Amino acid sequence: MMHLLKSDIYRIIKSSLCFYSMAGLILLGVFFGFLGASSTDTAEELIQSGLSNGSMLIPVFLTNVFMVAWGHEFNYRVVNNSLIAGMSRKTFFFSKTVLTFLLTILFVTVYAASLISVAFILKGSFPLTVALKPVLVQLPLYLAASCVGILLFNVLQASYTSVAAFIAIAFIGDTILSNIISNYLEKFDFLLDTLFFSNLRNITDLAVITNDQLQTALISSVIYGVIALLISFNVFRNREFK
């Protein structure tokens, strides 16, 4: 698995596959940093608003992660060649999953670093924990979102359809689910607290969120992520590659 992971990282660096997405994330962090500077008083508030606003657009950039880690392998039949060469499906799948997680963490870190840098320039010095806590809280939810991307790429088996589906889920999926649960499935209204795309926007201000809400958001994101990965692996394991 490490050999495949290293070769993927080399391919990404050599071909600058994520360069434009990371450049876009830097610009996005700068934009929300300056935008928040005019409406907030403290660096902490600027960072919180920037992380909350950024969570609405970062999923769009994550589609590049899925294309690099999964779309390339399926579109160019890399997976076929790897399996023919004797690599097990389990090794291949988990290598690509780890790559997806690493790139997701990298993208979130790049955006957060850009936003924090702007906050430092505009608002002056502040405790680093002020910036790191909400970022670290958001990470499990972003990883859960990346698991949804992995699921879509394995189930739909069409890269651009998977990208469109992921963006649609990120933008309107929680709204649709909320309406369905509120109107037709009131007994399951507890699920409204587990919608991780909504939680991404809501948990950045740790001063107003309760411990129960935070635990619910984090635990549910892990559960959803694990379920998505299990389904994805089962589909991948039984898929016939031609």
User: What are 84-113's pLDDT values in tens digits?
Assistant: 888 899 999 999 999 999 999 999 999 999
Long-range contacts of the stretch 230-235 (C-beta < 8 A, 24+): 231/151, 231/155, 232/93, 232/147, 232/150, 232/151, 232/154, 232/155, 233/90, 233/93, 235/154, 235/155
Q: In this model, does residue 118 exceed pLDDT 90?
A: yes
Residue 54 has pLDDT above 80, yes or no: yes
pTM as predicted: 0.94
Q: Using alpha carbons only, how large is the chain's radius of gyration in Å?
A: 19
Q: How far from 129 is each of 30, 48, 132, 205, CA to CA, in Å? A: 20, 12, 5, 13
> Is residue 38's pLDDT more than 80?
no
Closest Cα to residue 189, out of 179, 198, 200? 179
Average pLDDT value for residue range 147-162: 94
CA distance 19 to 25: 10
What is residue 40's predicted lDDT score, i.e. its pLDDT?
66
Return d(Cα 44, Cα 22) in angstroms, integer: 24
Average of pLDDT values for 116-125? Answer: 91
Q: Which two tokens stand for residue 222?
A: 């892990």
Tokens of 214: 């935070």
Count how many Cα atoms sit within 13 Å of the Cα of residue 82 in the half-sphere of its side chain.
22
Once rounded to an integer, what is the mean pLDDT over residues 128-139?
92
Angle at 223 between CA 91 and CA 179, to 5 degrees: 125
What pLDDT sits at residue 1?
A: 72
